[in-house]
Amino acid sequence: MVTRDWAVLERELREFLPRRSVISKKQELLVYDCDGLTMERKSPPLVVLPETTAEVSRILTCCHKRGISFVARGSGTGLSGGALVEEESLLVVTSRMRKILDVDLANCTITVQPGVINSWVTRAVTGEGFYYAPDPSSQVVCSIGGNVAENSGGVHCVKYGVTSNHVLGIEVVLPDGNIINLGGDLVETSELDLRGVFIGSEGTLGIATSITLRLLRAPEKVAVLLADFQSMEAAGDAVRKVTAAGVVPSGMEIMDNFMINAVNDLFGVDEYPRDAAAVLLIELDGQESEVVSASDQAYELCKASGAREVRCANDQIECARLWKGRKAAFAAVGKISPTYYVQDGVVPRSSLPQVLASISNLSRKYNLPVANVFHAGDGNLHPLILYERDSEYIENRVKDLAADILRLCLQEGGSITGEHGVGSDKRCYLKWMFSDDDLGTMQLVRNAFDPFRCANPGKIFPTPKSCGEFARRKIAINSKDEESQSDLEIF
Amino acid sequence: MVTRDWAVLERELREFLPRRSVISKKQELLVYDCDGLTMERKSPPLVVLPETTAEVSRILTCCHKRGISFVARGSGTGLSGGALVEEESLLVVTSRMRKILDVDLANCTITVQPGVINSWVTRAVTGEGFYYAPDPSSQVVCSIGGNVAENSGGVHCVKYGVTSNHVLGIEVVLPDGNIINLGGDLVETSELDLRGVFIGSEGTLGIATSITLRLLRAPEKVAVLLADFQSMEAAGDAVRKVTAAGVVPSGMEIMDNFMINAVNDLFGVDEYPRDAAAVLLIELDGQESEVVSASDQAYELCKASGAREVRCANDQIECARLWKGRKAAFAAVGKISPTYYVQDGVVPRSSLPQVLASISNLSRKYNLPVANVFHAGDGNLHPLILYERDSEYIENRVKDLAADILRLCLQEGGSITGEHGVGSDKRCYLKWMFSDDDLGTMQLVRNAFDPFRCANPGKIFPTPKSCGEFARRKIAINSKDEESQSDLEIF
């Protein structure tokens, strides 16, 4: 689109939006040029910050009339490029839609605008003994709208499920400006149930403007165990044993030796034993008696798997202390290497030890350090690749290592993403996981919501344009590598 | 389609299907003319019983080439007409697809063909201490494919969720014969997630040929409480108190006075107190210590809500005894009145007492007895309307009373179906719940899977043809009624 058209659109938007809600100054647009991970940066040509559903509807109606595409953005903490403007699109930022619209404790629901921060939901009902279960690491900054777009997970999802298990209803503004409602206030709704396909659709189907969430009662008691192991296999075995025994932890996380040392270095205290190959954190919640007995059981099972030491925390302060290192894991890696790439893949829980061993081999092959911290309970890996941003060659090697890790996940029957989404970052791998017919059906469903592909264009689905560069680069790199792995067949 | 065309299709299907897999004799087709509830009966012109995904794919390819529509059917226990042939369609029965394809206990999954009976899933893994949670009342006869089509619920769904919370992956044969895979073996999958929209789509998107389910560990301990109340309000209050206290029962069912007496009459023993306005059954499961403490808590809360007597069962035999009457509820009504109509609606849990009082008023207004047994924990009502099949006038009055009950549910912010589906039975009410834009989006999504509308044509969505008769009848009835309620505006 030429500059003149953007000027016309801006004028049109300013007719009904207050002055503060339209941003077009170059230096102010820079705020929106990146997300939490993606290497490439690009400022949007124009940004709007609507405050109501009606404003969102009018904005999208304007875009629709003019054939202009748009990208929705919450807090911008995404990790796969979903909220970045690639083509010339209007950026619709929901961070001023921060009202809690309704709280219905008798039916355990809360209805919020999309810009409401994840942790605010729990904060709004914690005095009444309720909470909202999905807890991505970024929960103090990420928005519910973004969580819906990415179908976010978190530590507690091993027991309580991901975002899609907690969203009852969504008001959606379609790309043509029409407003529809998916689901309602109830767990059960009528056919066709479009909630599931909207949740995790990364802004390609429309913009959620009101979201009804399920609230859970806060557990009476929480306990945390921290076990350290001399091998990753032993830690994996403990995860297997705990699960097989029918204990359902509310969190089950593993950190590897690299991560343990990074965390200790960050705090300047040896929170975790430096020589351990892995530490396993197990959180248990529920009624007091249940937690006590599950905690005893988990202790014995960790010991039976060869844990050297198992520390148990029973009060809030002690629990927070055991979690502290895990919660600071990304920051600890950031201190060692300001640039790092977080991969997000899933493997069946039973394949964890061998996949981690293979990642370790890949790290040596690529000569790039990899730190591991992951949701062991649901097999959701988060390898962090550390690198220095000094050349395109290095960045490409990082991407290739990251791609090889996903290949490993798929070989084990896993997935190329657990909770970070596909966005622009992984669209070229989607064909590794889905057949042409699978992808074709997804695209047709997308077209049902967005026939002109104006909502977050180019995201999720591989296109010759977006993935051609990837294929070309692979040929160039492979010709340099000892082991040639042609990826051309995937296009 | 003329008879000659069916003969051609039959010949074509017999080319690759064994003799036993094609049914075309009139008297054999009669078996497939009804489901568990629907009043109208109609035999399909031709029935096939495939045994493999490849056969299903070839069958649908034949239909696609010839522009012939098809209807999928599992065990035929549905309650909204979903598995009935209305227009001239081929009936594809999955009851010979009964293989358990894979059991992976390390990752808590099982993969089955669609004709596998719900209770067989649990039976296959019970020796290993696992089970499959969704438990519709028909679980000993209904099929997993049917459960997926209807997104079936059951008693345990108040704690464990409905079918869509337990399906990880689905292999689907599309209406053009192509095979796609939705989801996989993992709780987390990649975008767009089409599982949610397929589950509960009532055969309008294709045929599921392989389904991967999540298995849960069988609970260590189960306890059941039975409390009787002198008013429905008091029973509703107990449900509210138990939920508010954070106790999460694995079942929470209420029966009204009519149902209590029907059950006692069936057994010839007073299982439940005959003069109680309501009995409340609460099942608790989990680790022993948890169940004991939750059970004590539930006991006190029932008493605080005015329960006259609270019986507690702690072993398998006693638990089964308290459940016996609830499980026999439908049979008990059947003994009083061989013909009855089961409605299925949902209301927010907090509205239960007033909605039940209103249903009781409607029962008097229409002069038709209504028995109530329902999933109180999730506000899922199942009023049974008793009638004698002696005239079309009576049948129409039953349908009108049933429609008025749904109107009540919607007034309270509920849903026109909880777990029985829309099918042909409720398509005319869908407009009461969804806007034209909501329904338009659903139809477009349906078209993405089935552009020629050959999969279960006419189901779910209201059409002038299918609902015109309903509108005309309403005018006729309303002109006879004292209170005229025109429904014409809904078309």
pLDDT digits (tens, 9 = 90+) for B99-122: 999 999 988 999 999 999 999 999
- Residues B163 and B148: their CA atoms lie apart, in Å, by 7
Is B84:B187 a contact under the CB 8 Å cutoff? no
In which residue are the tokens 């309008």 written?
B204
The DSSP output letter for B218 is P
Asked if residue A474 and residue A347 are part of one domain, the reply reads yes
Shortest Cα distance from A421 to chain B (angstroms)? 7
Helix (H) or strand (E) holding A357: helix A352-366
Number of domains in chain A: 4
Question: Which residue, among B195, B149, B144, B191, has the nearest Cα to B169 in the 3D structure?
Answer: B195
Asked if residue A40 and residue A109 are part of one domain, the reply reads no
Cβ under 8 Å to B: A residues 18-47: none
Shortest Cα distance from A434 to chain B (angstroms)? 8
The DSSP output letter for B463 is -
* A20 CB burial (10 A radius; 0-12, 13-18, 19+): exposed
Residue A180 contacts B, CB cutoff 8 Å: yes
Domain assignment of residue A487, yes or no: no
Is B50:B17 a contact under the CB 8 Å cutoff? yes
Nearest CA in chain A to B423: A191
Q: How far is CA A408 from CA A348, A416, A478, in A?
A: 12, 10, 18
- Residues A443 and A429: their CA atoms lie apart, in Å, by 16
Asked if residue B271 and residue B157 are part of one domain, the reply reads no
- Residues B289 and B296: their CA atoms lie apart, in Å, by 11
Domain assignment of residue A490, yes or no: no
Is B163:B139 a contact under the CB 8 Å cutoff? no
Residue A203 contacts B, CB cutoff 8 Å: no
Is A12:A48 a contact under the CB 8 Å cutoff? no
Of B197, B217, B237, the domain-final residue: B217
Domain assignment of residue B241, yes or no: yes
In this predicted structure, the answer to whether residue B486 has a pLDDT above a threshold of 50 is: no
- Residues B176 and B178: their CA atoms lie apart, in Å, by 6
CATH of the domain at A85: 3.30.43.10
Tell me the count of A-B CB pairs closer than 8 A: 234
Is B41:B87 a contact under the CB 8 Å cutoff? no
- Residues A149 and A169: their CA atoms lie apart, in Å, by 14
- B435–A181 CB contact, under 8 Å: yes
CATH of the domain at A150: 3.30.465.10
Is A429:A403 a contact under the CB 8 Å cutoff? yes
pLDDT computed for residue A487 by the predictor: 39
Asked if residue B248 and residue B349 are part of one domain, the reply reads no
Of B188, B217, B246, the domain-final residue: B217
pLDDT computed for residue B184 by the predictor: 80
* B483 CB burial (10 A radius; 0-12, 13-18, 19+): exposed
Cβ under 8 Å to B: A residues 370-389: 378-380
In this predicted structure, the answer to whether residue B491 has a pLDDT above a threshold of 50 is: no
Domain assignment of residue B279, yes or no: yes
- A346–B178 CB contact, under 8 Å: no
Q: Which residues of B touch A190 (CB under 8 A)?
A: 415-417, 422, 430, 433-434
Asked if residue B447 and residue B363 are part of one domain, the reply reads yes
pLDDT computed for residue A1 by the predictor: 61
Q: How many C-beta atoms surround the C-beta of residue B458 within 10 A?
A: 21
- B445–A192 CB contact, under 8 Å: yes
Domain assignment of residue B488, yes or no: no
Residue A445 contacts B, CB cutoff 8 Å: yes
Helix (H) or strand (E) holding A346: strand A345-346
Q: Which residues of A touch B105 (CB under 8 A)?
A: 244
- Residues A460 and A204: their CA atoms lie apart, in Å, by 8
Domain assignment of residue A486, yes or no: no
Residue A239 contacts B, CB cutoff 8 Å: no
Shortest Cα distance from B44 to chain A (angstroms)? 25
Asked if residue B466 and residue B366 are part of one domain, the reply reads yes
Question: Using 50, 70 and 90 to split pLDDT, how confident is the model at B484?
Answer: very low
Q: Which residues of B touch A204 (CB under 8 A)?
A: 192
In this predicted structure, the answer to whether residue B146 has a pLDDT above a threshold of 50 is: yes
- B177-205 pLDDT, tens per residue? 999 999 887 766 667 899 999 999 999 99
- B414–A186 CB contact, under 8 Å: yes
Asked if residue A192 and residue A240 are part of one domain, the reply reads no
Residue by residue, pLDDT tens for chain A (491 residues) are: 667 789 999 999 999 999 999 999 999 999 999 998 877 889 999 999 999 999 999 999 999 999 999 999 999 999 999 999 988 999 999 999 999 999 999 889 999 999 999 999 999 999 999 999 999 989 999 999 999 999 999 999 999 999 999 999 999 999 999 999 998 877 666 678 999 999 999 999 999 999 999 999 999 899 999 999 999 999 999 998 998 888 899 999 999 999 999 999 999 989 899 999 999 999 999 988 889 989 999 999 999 999 999 999 989 999 999 999 998 999 999 999 989 999 999 998 889 989 999 999 999 999 999 999 999 998 999 999 999 988 889 999 999 999 999 999 999 989 999 889 999 889 999 999 999 999 999 999 999 999 999 999 999 998 777 776 666 655 555 454 444 343 333 33
In which residue are the tokens 């991407």 written?
A399
Task: Please tell me which of the candidates B240, B287, B413 has its beta carbon nearest to residue A185.
Answer: B413
Q: How many C-beta atoms surround the C-beta of residue A249 within 10 A?
A: 26
Cβ under 8 Å to B: A residues 241-260: 243-244, 246, 248
Domain assignment of residue B1, yes or no: no
Shortest Cα distance from B240 to chain A (angstroms)? 7
Q: Which residues of A touch B201 (CB under 8 A)?
A: 191-192
pLDDT computed for residue B482 by the predictor: 42
Nearest CA in chain B to A291: B290
Q: How far is CA B18 from CA A36, A117, B11, B45, B55, in A?
A: 58, 60, 12, 19, 10
Asked if residue B319 and residue B300 are part of one domain, the reply reads yes
pLDDT computed for residue A486 by the predictor: 38
Q: Which residues of A touch B147 (CB under 8 A)?
A: none
- Residues B242 and A32: their CA atoms lie apart, in Å, by 47
Of A69, A93, A117, the domain-final residue: A93
- B415–A190 CB contact, under 8 Å: yes
Q: What is the ipTM of this complex?
A: 0.88
Asked if residue B323 and residue B344 are part of one domain, the reply reads no
* B356 CB burial (10 A radius; 0-12, 13-18, 19+): buried
Domain assignment of residue A415, yes or no: yes
Average pLDDT over residues B354-370: 95
Q: Provide the token pair at B465.
A: 């043809």
Is A168:A385 a contact under the CB 8 Å cutoff? no
Residue B106 contacts A, CB cutoff 8 Å: yes
Handedness of CA B89, B95, B99, B103 (dihedral sign): positive
Asked if residue B66 and residue B174 are part of one domain, the reply reads no
Nearest CA in chain A to B287: A290
Q: How many C-beta atoms surround the C-beta of residue B417 within 10 A?
A: 30
pLDDT computed for residue B481 by the predictor: 47
Asked if residue B416 and residue B326 are part of one domain, the reply reads no
Residue of A158, A176, A191 to mutate for B, most B C-beta atoms under 10 A: A191
pLDDT computed for residue B476 by the predictor: 53
CATH of the domain at B265: 3.30.70.2190
Supply the mean pLDDT for chain B. Answer: 91
Instruction: Give the helix ranges, DSSP H, for A224-313.
Output: 232-244, 257-267, 288-304
Distant-in-sequence, close-in-space partners of B3: CB < 8 Å, separation ≥ 6: none
* B137 CB burial (10 A radius; 0-12, 13-18, 19+): buried
- Residue A228 domain boundaries: 221-332
Asked if residue A366 and residue A297 are part of one domain, the reply reads no
